[in-house]
């Protein structure tokens, strides 16, 4: 695509002389079934040149499936596909790229042991006449690209040395480097901090001005209103409606997404606060965080806020013995306990829902029962080594019903569940151990509004029953809505604990970015 | 997220009744039967006799795979846990020597240990098992505690254990073994031992905490750790069991051959891995079943005896066997991908 300056493109666009067809992409009546599941049912979707079109819907609504079809990863069972007015058929992701459709995946697809430059130009390396890669040229192009996008990274860094947020920026740069007409972004901000999100939005606006059409999948409402021109809502594999972003309200969209009204996002109930369950004194993990002290009482929800990389998750991992503390003390019910491994923490009544569902939560290849029962097995439920299958199965069934895990049966491999349902299975895993102290790291990351509300309700219920909850979250409304007190961290230090009544977004952000 | 099941929630109750998952071994069992039938047909065409209706051949076929099968029972567990064991064949050689040296008859004058002849067979058996157990303990400890890749740790053991076997008698075979020891390898015993350990560990994998932990570690070691499993201890345990079974295989082999030879067992580890993989175990861990491995071992046996039956040259046999192993895995991958619907 020829690069014209943003201002020129804007003038052309405003004059109405948009070249070619009005719609960059028109997908109609698409149907896609997976064994046992109709993922998309007669779905249509249109994307205008120079517009950001947001896709909203609960997890499992079919957004990602549709995007994978547009990006050539899946082939639809039926339906038509028009690119700039021309009927085309995609057979592979490479095909899609050649047609000018690039996608930034939800999962990071970078190669850890290769440099940033190698990752970006993979398969498109500049070659010399002998077929060897011209590293200098590749570096130069990367520098140029980064300058254009204002990304302050060294092209020679190996990807494994980058933070998750920087990796995401590399992914974005890679997708932009294709100079494609259509750019699909699948939850690009889930690993980004506010500042980087702003940066991404600047990039998006520049691309828009060049006439690129952007499909933007997100769960975050405020992003939608900030960046999107249109919004399409999906539910249960069906297209529900398309609206101009300026014409709808947040509540209307939520209503469309879930098909019912969510009366209250954060149903905080006042729980009786009991004795101190967990007391942390001057906890330190060399190189990650230091000087963390707090008391957590029974029935209390202690929210933990801070930017990504502030050491929040490290504190959680240390409390649970995944990375034992280098100094400081952890007291449970007033008794000091050396927590050297997760087993010790579990025996002391703790449970830990990790931040990364895929990396440290799910056993993706195994079925739901295997995933749910694994923590429980430590606490008995076995006679002479033999697992009491029937009893455990009944317990799993009970949890499945209680948390409303949507699955045909417990023998379903967990990989086939949506993010929200996977998260419910992991929560069930820990609830089955009847914890007294519950550590939650991003309990609702990447899951849909409906499941989110259910999980919030559950956390509140647990607090009312006297469970002490330590909850890390990147979403300020969630922290503010759920917590009794909020612990804020910044660059490995605890910068303050704020009471619910004094907590505002501004106050928390001040502490988090001191 | 794309293959989301939750969208199918309204129909799930309806589907539930008709939806019983078929055990994944069925397809591999079909391959096994197909292969037997193929050799049957080829037999009538080229040799003029039946492949299947020949009890002697069936017995030889099962016997020669029993030793591989015993190893494969251990290797399957290692593979399910996401590891690999390359040392089994060398451990067979090492235990063969050690067991044989304690199993010589009292009347033999040139025994390795002249004062330890005519012992009850319990002693050579115990020594062989302990020897395998120690090899496994070293493998497991290296992997769990130093975090070196299992491939490297067991490669080291593969070289060293073979060295021990050669060093033990300077390469001299150990003969004149007692009848009571040889009885272990006589008749159907190897097969009974193979099926016995396969059954025990089939039960262990499916119904015990040991099994659940093994699958969990193979599927996601980090999540297993966070779930409170003592991953290091379990890894050591599984490698010890694999070593123990290699030792057992070495004992059976020595008893069957009625002689201890330092060179035995070369390549056994690869046959055992092949049996597990043909049987559906995934080298990336978390997937595999003992029943599949047993069928995998039988398939290897059918191949060998089938080709011998058809008078195919031994070199061609190896070439084709390699192809079959790869084809089995390719077919399995293809099947899994189709099931995922991608």
pLDDT digits (tens, 9 = 90+) for B85-125: 999 999 999 999 999 999 999 888 888 888 888 889 999 99
Do A184 and A90 share a structural domain? Answer: yes
Q: Is B207 on the interface with A (CB under 8 A)?
A: yes
| Exposure of A28 in the CB half-sphere (CA atoms within 13 A) | 7
Q: Is B9 on the interface with A (CB under 8 A)?
A: yes
Which pLDDT does position A1 carry in this prediction?
41
Among residues A261, A296, A325, the one where a domain terminates is A261
Per-residue pLDDT band for A262 (boundaries 50, 70, 90) equals very low
Which pLDDT does position A204 carry in this prediction?
93
Domain residue limits at B71: 24-40+50-340
Give A408's contacts in chain B (Cβ within 8 Å): 5, 8, 12, 15-16, 19
Within a domain: residue A105? no
- Nearest CA distance, A451 vs chain B (angstrom): 11
Average pLDDT over residues A425-441: 95
Per-residue pLDDT band for B139 (boundaries 50, 70, 90) equals very high
d(CA A435, CA A345): 10
Per-residue pLDDT band for B326 (boundaries 50, 70, 90) equals confident
Within a domain: residue A268? no
Query: What letter does residue B21 receive in the DSSP assignment?
Result: P
Give A61's contacts in chain B (Cβ within 8 Å): 7
Which pLDDT does position B5 carry in this prediction?
38
Do A184 and A171 share a structural domain? Answer: no
Average pLDDT over residues B304-326: 87
Q: Is A366 on the interface with B (CB under 8 A)?
A: yes
Percent of chain A with pLDDT strictly greater than 70? 92
Classify A36 as helix, strand or coil: coil
Which pLDDT does position A15 carry in this prediction?
53
Contact map slice: A 371-410 vs B, CB within 8 A: 373-375, 377-378, 382, 385-387, 389, 406-409
Q: Is B230 on the interface with A (CB under 8 A)?
A: yes
Tell if the CB–CB gap between B220 and A360 is shorter than 8 Å: yes
Per-residue pLDDT band for A21 (boundaries 50, 70, 90) equals low
Which pLDDT does position A230 carry in this prediction?
93
pLDDT digits (tens, 9 = 90+) for B250-296: 999 999 999 999 999 999 999 999 999 999 898 889 999 999 999 99
Among residues A164, A179, A194, the one where a domain terminates is A179
Within a domain: residue A495? yes
Per-residue pLDDT band for B49 (boundaries 50, 70, 90) equals confident
Q: Which of A202-206, A380-384, B45-49 has the lowest mean pLDDT?
A: A380-384
Classify B287 as helix, strand or coil: coil
Classify A374 as helix, strand or coil: coil
- Nearest CA distance, A266 vs chain B (angstrom): 24
Q: Which of A179-193, A333-347, B249-263 has the lowest mean pLDDT?
A: A179-193
Query: Residue B19: is its pLDDT beyond 50?
Result: no
Those residues whose C-beta lies under 8 Å from the C-beta of residue B94, and which sit 6 or more positions away, are B131, B135, B161, B162, B164, B165, B168, B250
Domain residue limits at A164: 114-179
| Exposure of A80 in the CB half-sphere (CA atoms within 13 A) | 8
Which pLDDT does position A257 carry in this prediction?
76
How many A/B residue pairs have CB atoms within 8 Å?
151
Per-residue pLDDT band for A258 (boundaries 50, 70, 90) equals low
Tell if the CB–CB gap between B8 and A36 is shorter than 8 Å: yes
Do A231 and A246 share a structural domain? Answer: yes
pLDDT, mean over chain A = 87
Tell if the CB–CB gap between B16 and A409 is shorter than 8 Å: yes
Would strands A350-353 and A468-472 be described as parallel, antiparallel, or unpaired? unpaired
Classify A354 as helix, strand or coil: coil
Within a domain: residue A449? yes
* DSSP annotation string for A167-186: HHHHHHHHHHHTT-SEEEEE
Tell if the CB–CB gap between B226 and A352 is shorter than 8 Å: yes
Tell if the CB–CB gap between A406 and B6 is shorter than 8 Å: yes
Between A340 and A308, where is the model more confident? A340
Within a domain: residue A121? yes
Contact map slice: B 271-310 vs A, CB within 8 A: 282, 286-287
pLDDT digits (tens, 9 = 90+) for A171-183: 889 989 988 899 9
Give A377's contacts in chain B (Cβ within 8 Å): 209, 212-213
Contact map slice: A 30-49 vs B, CB within 8 A: 34-39
Tell if the CB–CB gap between A378 and B213 is shorter than 8 Å: no
Q: How many domains does chain A have?
A: 4
Handedness of CA B279, B284, B285, B287 (dihedral sign): negative
Per-residue pLDDT band for A263 (boundaries 50, 70, 90) equals very low
Most trustworthy range by pLDDT among A285-294, B103-112, B231-240: B231-240
Q: Is B335 on the interface with A (CB under 8 A)?
A: no
As a residue count, chain B comes to: 342
Tell if the CB–CB gap between A385 and B210 is shorter than 8 Å: yes
Which pLDDT does position B189 carry in this prediction?
93
Within a domain: residue B18? no
Do A387 and A242 share a structural domain? Answer: no
Q: Is B21 on the interface with A (CB under 8 A)?
A: yes
Which pLDDT does position A37 carry in this prediction?
65
Phi/psi for B3 (5° steps) reads: -90, 50
Answer for the pair A53, A230: CB distance below 8 angstroms, yes or no.
yes
Answer for the pair A115, A159: CB distance below 8 angstroms, yes or no.
yes
Which pLDDT does position B9 carry in this prediction?
39
Which pLDDT does position A3 carry in this prediction?
43
Query: Residue B20: is its pLDDT beyond 70?
Result: no
Do A504 and A398 share a structural domain? Answer: no
List residues bridging with B218 in a β-sheet.
Answer: none
Average pLDDT over residues B309-337: 82
Chain A interface test: which of B5, B82, B231, B283 (most A C-beta within 10 Å): B5
Those residues whose C-beta lies under 8 Å from the C-beta of residue A273, and which sit 6 or more positions away, are A297, A298, A299, A300, A484
Which pLDDT does position B295 carry in this prediction?
94
Give B6's contacts in chain A (Cβ within 8 Å): 59-60, 406-407, 417-418, 420-421
For the beta carbon of residue B118, count every other beta carbon within 10 angstroms.
13
Chain B interface test: which of A356, A365, A405 (most B C-beta within 10 Å): A365
Which tokens belong to B7? Answer: 């969208």
Classify B195 as helix, strand or coil: helix
Do A312 and A452 share a structural domain? Answer: yes
Which tokens belong to B234? Answer: 């379990």
Answer for the pair A458, A427: CB distance below 8 angstroms, yes or no.
yes
Tell if the CB–CB gap between A74 and B2 is shorter than 8 Å: yes
Do A447 and A410 share a structural domain? Answer: no
Tell if the CB–CB gap between B223 and A360 is shorter than 8 Å: yes
CATH number, domain containing residue B223? 1.10.3470
Within a domain: residue A354? no
- Nearest CA distance, B223 vs chain A (angstrom): 4
Those residues whose C-beta lies under 8 Å from the C-beta of residue A144, and which sit 6 or more positions away, are none
Query: What letter does residue B267 receive in the DSSP assignment?
Result: T
d(CA A512, CA A347): 33
pLDDT, mean over chain B = 88
Within a domain: residue A370? yes
Q: Is B50 on the interface with A (CB under 8 A)?
A: no
Answer for the pair A375, B227: CB distance below 8 angstroms, yes or no.
yes
Answer for the pair B211, B105: CB distance below 8 angstroms, yes or no.
no
d(CA B191, CA B298): 11
Is this complex scored with an ipTM above 0.85?
no
Rg, chain A, Cα only: 24
Among residues A179, A202, A229, the one where a domain terminates is A179
- Nearest CA distance, A98 vs chain B (angstrom): 21
CATH number, domain containing residue A186? 3.40.50.300
Answer for the pair A320, B226: CB distance below 8 angstroms, yes or no.
yes
Do A411 and A443 share a structural domain? Answer: no
Within a domain: residue B230? yes
Give A343's contacts in chain B (Cβ within 8 Å): 228-230
Do A283 and A252 share a structural domain? Answer: no
Answer for the pair A175, A102: CB distance below 8 angstroms, yes or no.
yes
Q: Is A113 on the interface with B (CB under 8 A)?
A: no
Q: Helix, strand, coil proportions of chain B in percent (round to 5)?
A: 75, 0, 25
**What angle in degrees, to the nearest 10, is found between the helix axes of B231-257 and B55-80?**
160
Q: Is B209 on the interface with A (CB under 8 A)?
A: yes
Which pLDDT does position A271 carry in this prediction?
83
Within a domain: residue A396? yes
Q: Is B341 on the interface with A (CB under 8 A)?
A: yes
Q: How many domains does chain B have?
A: 1
* DSSP annotation string for B32-74: HHHHHHHHHHHIIIIISS-SSS-HHHHHHHHHHHHHHHHHHHH
Of the candidates A207, A272, A217, which has an alpha carbon nearest to the alpha carbon of residue A59?
A: A217
pLDDT digits (tens, 9 = 90+) for A138-165: 999 999 999 999 999 999 999 988 888 8
Classify residue A507 by burial, with Cβ atoms within 10 Å: 0-12, 13-18, 19+: middle
Answer for the pair A362, A427: CB distance below 8 angstroms, yes or no.
no
Which pLDDT does position A188 carry in this prediction?
86
pLDDT digits (tens, 9 = 90+) for A44-60: 999 999 999 999 876 66
Per-residue pLDDT band for A379 (boundaries 50, 70, 90) equals confident
Which pLDDT does position A352 carry in this prediction?
96
Which pLDDT does position B126 carry in this prediction?
97
Q: Is B55 on the interface with A (CB under 8 A)?
A: no
Of the candidates A407, A416, A448, A449, which has an alpha carbon nearest to the alpha carbon of residue A428?
A: A407
Of the candidates A347, A285, A276, which has an alpha carbon nearest to the alpha carbon of residue A317?
A: A285
Within a domain: residue B212? yes
Of A38, A342, A389, Cβ closest to residue B8: A38
Query: Residue A133: is its pLDDT beyond 50?
Result: yes
Q: Is A313 on the interface with B (CB under 8 A)?
A: no
- Nearest CA distance, A135 vs chain B (angstrom): 32
Would strands A78-83 and A23-34 be described as parallel, antiparallel, or unpaired? antiparallel
Most trustworthy range by pLDDT among A39-43, A122-126, A441-445, B165-169: B165-169
Give B286's contacts in chain A (Cβ within 8 Å): 363, 365-366
Q: Which of A442-451, A468-477, A486-495 has the lowest mean pLDDT?
A: A442-451
Do A187 and A170 share a structural domain? Answer: no
Within a domain: residue B111? yes
Do A331 and A457 share a structural domain? Answer: yes
Query: What letter does residue B30 receive in the DSSP assignment?
Result: H
d(CA A400, CA B6): 13
Average pLDDT over residues B163-182: 93
Q: Is A66 on the interface with B (CB under 8 A)?
A: no
pLDDT digits (tens, 9 = 90+) for A481-512: 899 999 999 888 999 999 998 988 778 877 88
Answer for the pair A53, A101: CB distance below 8 angstroms, yes or no.
no
Between A265 and B109, where is the model more confident? B109
d(CA A416, CA A368): 10
Of B6, B21, B213, Cβ closest to residue A418: B6
Which tokens belong to A155? Answer: 């092209």
Tell if the CB–CB gap between A387 and B208 is shorter than 8 Å: yes
Which pLDDT does position A36 carry in this prediction?
55
Which pLDDT does position A29 carry in this prediction?
92
Query: Residue A429: is its pLDDT beyond 60?
Result: yes
Query: Residue B328: is its pLDDT beyond 80?
Result: no
Which pLDDT does position A163 carry in this prediction?
83
Answer for the pair A281, A329: CB distance below 8 angstroms, yes or no.
yes
Of A322, A366, A429, Cβ closest to residue B225: A322
Do A24 and A55 share a structural domain? Answer: yes
Tell if the CB–CB gap between A408 and B16 is shorter than 8 Å: yes
Tell if the CB–CB gap between A39 and B3 is shorter than 8 Å: yes
Within a domain: residue B73? yes
d(CA B237, CA A220): 47
């Amino acid at each position: 695509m020829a690069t014209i300056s943003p201002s020129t493109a804007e003038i052309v666009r405003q004059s109405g002389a948009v070249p070619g067809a009005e719609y960059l992409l028109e997908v109609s009546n698409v149907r896609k079934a997976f064994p046992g599941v109709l993922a998309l049912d007669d779905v249509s979707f249109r994307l205008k040149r120079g517009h950001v079109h947001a896709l909203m819907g609960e997890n499992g609504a079919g957004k990602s499936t549709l995007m994978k079809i547009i990006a050539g990863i899946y082939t639809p069972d039926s339906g038509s596909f028009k690119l700039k007015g021309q009927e085309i058929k995609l057979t592979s992701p490479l095909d899609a790229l050649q047609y000018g459709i690039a996608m930034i995946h939800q999962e990071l697809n970078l190669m850890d042991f290769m440099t940033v430059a190698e990752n970006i130009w993979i398969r498109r390396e500049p070659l010399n006449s002998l077929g060897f890669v011209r590293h200098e040229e590749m570096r130069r192009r990367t520098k140029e690209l980064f300058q254009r996008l204002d990304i302050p990274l060294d092209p020679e860094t190996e990807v494994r040395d980058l933070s998750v947020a920087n990796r995401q920026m590399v992914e974005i740069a890679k997708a932009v480097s294709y100079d494609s007409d259509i750019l699909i972004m699948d939850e690009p901000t889930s690993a980004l901090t506010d500042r980087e999100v702003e940066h991404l939005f600047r990039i998006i606006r520049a691309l828009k001005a060049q006439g690129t059409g952007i499909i933007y999948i997100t769960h975050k409402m405020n992003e939608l209103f900030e960046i999107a021109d249109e919004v399409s809502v999906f539910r249960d594999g069906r297209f529900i409606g398309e609206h101009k972003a300026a014409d709808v309200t947040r509540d209307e969209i939520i209503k469309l997404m879930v098909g019912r009204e969510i009366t209250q996002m954060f149903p905080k109930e006042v729980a009786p606060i009991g004795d101190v369950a967990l007391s942390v004194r001057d906890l330190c993990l060399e190189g990650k965080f230091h000087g963390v002290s707090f008391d957590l009482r029974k029935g209390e929800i202690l929210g933990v806020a801070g930017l990504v990389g502030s050491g929040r998750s490290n504190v959680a991992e240390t409390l649970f013995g995944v990375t034992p503390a280098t100094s400081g003390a952890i007291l449970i019910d007033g008794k000091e306990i050396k927590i050297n491994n997760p087993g010790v923490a579990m025996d002391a009544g703790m449970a830990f829902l990790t931040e990364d569902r895929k990396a440290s939560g799910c056993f993706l290849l195994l079925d739901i029962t295997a995933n749910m029962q694994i923590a429980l097995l430590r606490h008995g439920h076995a006679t002479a080594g033999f697992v009491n299958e029937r009893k455990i199965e009944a317990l799993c069934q009970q949890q499945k019903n209680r948390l409303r895990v949507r699955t045909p049966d417990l023998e379903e491999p967990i990989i086939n569940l949506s993010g929200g349902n996977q998260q419910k299975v992991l929560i069930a895993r820990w609830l089955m151990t009847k914890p007294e102290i519950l550590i939650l790291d991003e309990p609702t990351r990447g899951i849909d509004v409906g499941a989110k509300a259910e999980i919030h309700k559950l956390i509140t219920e647990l607090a009312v029953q006297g469970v002490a909850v330590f909850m890390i979250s990147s979403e300020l409304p969630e922290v503010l809505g759920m917590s009794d007190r909020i612990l804020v961290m910044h660059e490995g230090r605890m910068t303050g604990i704020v009471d619910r009544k004094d907590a505002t977004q501004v106050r928390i952000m001040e502490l988090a970015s001191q | 997220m794309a293959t989301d099941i939750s969208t199918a929630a309204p129909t799930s109750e309806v589907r539930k009744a008709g939806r019983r998952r078929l055990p994944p071994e069925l397809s591999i069992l079909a391959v096994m039967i197909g292969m037997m039938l193929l050799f049957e047909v080829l037999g009538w065409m080229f040799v003029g006799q039946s492949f299947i209706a020949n009890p002697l051949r069936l017995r030889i076929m099962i016997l020669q795979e029993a030793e591989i099968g015993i190893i494969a029972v251990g290797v399957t567990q290692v593979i399910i846990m996401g590891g690999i064991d390359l040392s089994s064949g060398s451990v067979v050689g090492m235990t063969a020597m050690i067991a044989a040296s304690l199993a010589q008859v009292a009347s033999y004058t040139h025994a390795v240990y002249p004062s330890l002849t005519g012992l009850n067979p319990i002693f050579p058996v115990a020594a062989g098992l302990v020897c395998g157990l120690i090899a496994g303990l070293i493998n497991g400890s290296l992997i769990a505690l130093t975090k070196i890749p299992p491939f490297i740790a067991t490669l080291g053991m593969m070289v060293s254990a073979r060295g021990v076997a050669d060093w033990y008698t300077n390469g001299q075979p150990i003969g004149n073994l007692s009848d009571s020891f040889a009885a272990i390898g006589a008749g159907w015993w190897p097969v009974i031992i193979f099926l016995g350990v396969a059954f025990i560990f089939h039960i262990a994998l499916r119904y015990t905490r040991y099994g659940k932990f093994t699958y969990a570690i193979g599927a996601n070691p980090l999540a297993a750790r966070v779930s409170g499993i003592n991953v290091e201890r379990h890894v050591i345990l599984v490698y010890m069991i694999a070593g123990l079974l290699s030792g057992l295989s070495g004992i059976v082999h020595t008893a069957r051959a009625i002689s201890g030879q330092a060179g035995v067992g070369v390549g056994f580890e690869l046959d055992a891995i092949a049996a597990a993989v043909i049987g559906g175990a995934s080298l990336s861990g978390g997937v595999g079943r003992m029943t599949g491995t047993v069928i995998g071992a039988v398939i290897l046996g059918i191949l060998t005896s089938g080709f011998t039956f058809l008078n195919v040259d031994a070199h061609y046999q190896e070439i084709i066997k390699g192809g079959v192993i790869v084809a089995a895995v390719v077919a399995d991958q293809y099947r899994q991908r189709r099931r995922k619907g991608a």
